[in-house]
Amino acid sequence: MKKYSKEILISLIAIFILFLFSQSTSGVKEKKVLPKAEVTEKPIVKKPIVSVEYHSKELTKKVNHKLDSLIKRIHKRHDFHGAILVAKNKKIVYKNQIGYADFRKKIPIKEESTFQLASVSKQFTAVAIMLLAERNKLKITDTINTYFPDFPYENITIKNLLNHTAGLPKYFWVAEHKWNKKVPPTNSDMMQLLTSSNVGRFFRPGRNFDYSNTAYFVLASIVEKISGTSFNNFLQKNIFEPLDMKNSYVYSAVNDDVHQNQLKGFRLYRGWKHISIGNTVNDAVVGDKNVYSTAEDLYKWTYGLNSGKLLSKESLDLMYANGETIYGRKVPYGFGFRIDPREKNKIYHHGKWNGFSTALTNYLEDDLVIIVLEHTSYNALKSLNRKIKKIITQNFAV
């Protein structure tokens, strides 16, 4: 009996110990290993640094009616096929387009139709140079030979190129008389051709003012040399993308494909038929021309530039100031902009090339911008600009 009691007692003690152990571990919860949550970064949405704003319909009703009448009249009487935009106090007053993009298929021009800017392109080249200057990549007192040692015309500074006091020969003539290949020359081809063609300069640098397409293709070539990329890529990264200019680009007839909505230039034949204008030997060179854009993109460009989104005030003041010869004579040109000697604070540029006629006029004191783009050899830009300004002055008091 005592033997069994002792065994029972041992068993009870063992059971009790097991019970205590189970109680001590029951409060410890098993940690569950959860799968790691996927970390998804939210895309960074960049807000455009220039916003497109419009004046109210109530304010613009009268002036829009008059400008609509004007654009219909010049379309009918003067074969105007293009776009007009007017902005005042950093808001759009009027934007419209009229006419055909394709005359055979009767496809109308639309907001996204891109126009060859011709010489209005020069202001983009000038800003590209000033961007590099602000980044200490160049000085406007540098000579061409700093970047192209073999260039045959010595002692020409970047500033000479910018305000057309370089005296360089006309590259159009050089290409037409010295280039013997079927494919048009590119910028690098033309730089080599100028080096080897032995064509004389017009005058020594700084002595006179002579409007020069050659100067601006050389400037674009300097941009490419310093940046190590194409002129188009440089403008895309540093100007078009920051300003949300989605329908703007540089087009070279040799290096680039035709873009969607890219217009052709036309001329009127016998008063009724529109003949498309083909490419020339000078259509692959960029910097003096060959930027394509829309009226709205040019609005973004103008206000982005004027509001200091791209350049410092010091750089902009240089661009908008008259150039000078070495004799101190003022010239009617800044950097990429013509300076009107008769109207204070009016800067502008016109362009004509292969059927395109373009004009961007900026009245700085009035904060008024008038943009006209056309592609059928319209030839009354100055008169049209005056008419538009008169309508705005008389019918839009904001």
Partners of residue 372 on adjacent β-strands? 84, 359
This prediction's pTM: 0.87
- For residue 113, the number of C-alpha atoms closer than 13 Å in the C-beta half-sphere is 24
Between CA 31 and CA 11 the distance in angstroms is 34
Hey, what are 130's tokens? 């000033």
Between CA 234 and CA 160 the distance in angstroms is 22
- pLDDT score of 343: 85
- Helix locations, 27-135, DSSP H: 57-78, 122-134
What pLDDT digit, counting tens, does each position of 196-252 carry? 999 999 999 999 999 999 999 999 999 999 999 999 999 999 999 999 999 999 999
pLDDT by 10-residue block (mean), the chain, 398 residues = 50 52 44 39 55 94 97 97 97 98 96 98 98 98 98 97 98 96 96 95 97 98 98 98 97 93 96 93 98 98 95 96 96 96 91 98 96 97 97 93
Residue written as tokens 């003539």?
173
Q: How many helices (H) and strands (E) does the chain have?
A: 11, 15
Partners of residue 346 on adjacent β-strands? 363
Q: What string of DSSP letters covers 26-48? A: HTSPPPP-PPPPP--PPP--PPP
* Sign of the alpha-carbon dihedral angle for 14, 16, 18, 21: negative
Q: Which domains does the chain have, with CATH numbers?
A: 57-63+77-395 (3.40.710.10)
∠ at Cα 179 (177, 183), nearest 5°? 135
Between CA 231 and CA 237 the distance in angstroms is 10
